[in-house]
Amino acid sequence: MSTRTWTQLAVVAAVIFVIVSFIRSCNSAPAQDQLFGTLSMLRADMDQIVHTGGRVISYDNNSKTTFSRVYLLLTADAGGRARELSAKYQDSLLSRGWTPAGSSIDGLRFCKQGATASVRASQDEQRIAVGMVFDAASISTCRRHAVN
């Protein structure tokens, strides 16, 4: 075979790889109706956390529009009692149907309907952060947790 033939085969193989990868990523990403339904659930659960205590410093309520991901990020002033407030936030999540999914770099992790939530207290006990995400990665994380 000539070099040109090998080059053409390599290009065809690369195109097939890209197409298969694109189709697989589209299949694993949540549908738009799932995103909006889950966003509503996340907002209700985060509102419950906000009412649990702490002074809200920042709250990103899915402000950046994305195609296949929804998220909420809360930072609260814990007034030197971040561990106590973290426990209250975790109890709030558990009472709303979230299940423990171990810990991660972001702190303690929970799953609910394919979404993940993390609760993390700062080292100085002054701040606490809560993040909630629903996307293909969170769905995969929660599936792995459910199997284990």
24 and 48 housed in the same domain: no
pLDDT in tens, 71-117: 999 999 998 888 899 999 999 999 999 999 987 665 789 999 999 99
Contact (CB, 8 A) for 91 and 98 = no
Kind and range of the H or E element at 16?
helix 3-28
- C-alpha–C-alpha distance, residues 129 and 134, integer Å: 17
Please give the model's pTM, rounded to 2 decimal places: 0.76
**CATH code, 68:** 3.30.310
20 and 47 housed in the same domain: no
Q: Which of 21-25, 42-46, 58-62 has the lowest mean pLDDT?
A: 21-25
pLDDT confidence of residue 65: 62
143 and 84 housed in the same domain: yes
Mean pLDDT of the chain: 83
Kind and range of the H or E element at 85?
helix 82-95
73 and 13 housed in the same domain: no
Mean local confidence (pLDDT), 4-10: 70
Domain that holds residue 130: 31-147
Q: What are phi and psi of 105, to 5 degrees?
A: -60, -35
